[in-house]
Structure 1
Amino acid sequence: MSAPILHAHCPNPSVGTLNNLLGSLLQTLITAQCAISAKENWPEDYGDLALEKGLEAYDFVVVGAGSAGSVVASRLSENRNWKVLVLEAGGDPPQESEMPSIYSYGMFTNFNWHYYTEPQTSACYAARDRSCYWPRGKMVGGTGGINGMLFLRGNRRDYDSWLAKGNVGWGWNDVLPYFRKAVTPVGNSTNPMGHVVLNDFNFYYDDLLNLICNASAALGVPRVQRIGDEGAAIGCTRAPGTVENGK
């Protein structure tokens, strides 16, 4: 089937061949756009069935399909004898959520809860009443669908402070093995660990990075080569992202 003839406003007409080629190109681009976030990538919606039958049929009900809820539900469902239901207020994420480089376009949309913090004393000076905008995702994937996918491990001091308060098993040395287990760093494909793939966003602005880190060093902020196991509290470096093939 030939592509539709496009009547472009050009000073010289086409005999049809170029119009057909252009139409085919546009159709290919539209198809590729739909494939960015294809329907089959996301789970079926059992909301109506749950409302009709009730929740008693399920062994576990996970509220929220964000980064944590989705993983909890996935791990529970590994037991084939358990029925797991995930409840999420939002729907499937938009196409933009699959592309970290344009994540900011999902901020002020219906895929966001549009939270604001309480007035701050040392931050958000440019915001009204110093109340920080605190976007939280309202979709399958939660806030993981509207952030830049930067990978940052927690601060060692936070975990150790939890341990000091009596939370046994939550010190830095306790949680670090699970951080390691969750990810497969770039260049380690022959010995993969977890489902989270780390990449460097194909960052080519080394001169800019060095300029920023050198300026930071002048202010006493150390240069960190990579975000690793040290749990550094502060430093300047290139942060990896949980991105694979640009998605």
Structure 2
Amino acid sequence: MQTMLCQVTAIEALTAAVYRVQLQPPQAMKFKAGQYLQVVMGERDKRPFSIASCPSDGSLLELHIGATPENKYAYEVLESMRNNGCIEIEGPLGDAWYRDDTQSTRPLILIAGGTGFSYAWSIAQAHLQRKSTRPVTLYWGVRSSADLYLHDQLQALAEAYPHFYYRPVVQYPEPTWTGLTGLVHQAVLTDQSDLGEADVYAAGRFEMVRIIRDEFHANGLPLVQLYGDALAFI
């Protein structure tokens, strides 16, 4: 693990409440897809965020931060970045990183709730960059379709890569939405007939990950094939 002071090179609004943040460390950080870093707000105040960027370029770190004034935990981090132009981080951290073709031959199922997408996005990019033929299906659960901030890019990737499948799930759909609806874990259970033959990566609220662990295991997924840093806390 490294501790370093990063320059904040960009803060871009992706939705009304989600921001793409780009950090430039003093030297490239070596990390694995699916790992996270901690923003150091104080000696005993360190706040974790998944790294959304691909490990092939550790010279620029990307975060997706869901921040509103009501969510002080993340909002204070964003305000500190805006006001100071730099931020201290620690990383990389986490054991729920991407297992590549040398470690597994099973298809991948990536499940993201909200900004948990940043975790899945890093893994998806790393997997596609390796030109692996292992199928990867990304399920992204959100409240409304407006929260799918990389929707067009993901659709384009699904068209470009025959082994990549994008399955957005909207909990409260607008009348014009024609895709999957409801809760993301239920969409996976409906879609996937043999969870025992997949590696599942999950990120989102602890309650969502707990339900995935319990219900997927009951439907045949060995727990050793389920990855998510939240699992250590539930």
Q: Higher relative CO (CA 8 A, sep ≥ 6), structure 1 or 2?
A: 2
Q: Same fold (TM over 0.5)?
A: no
TM-score (norm 2): 0.23
TM-score (norm 1): 0.22
Larger radius of gyration: 1
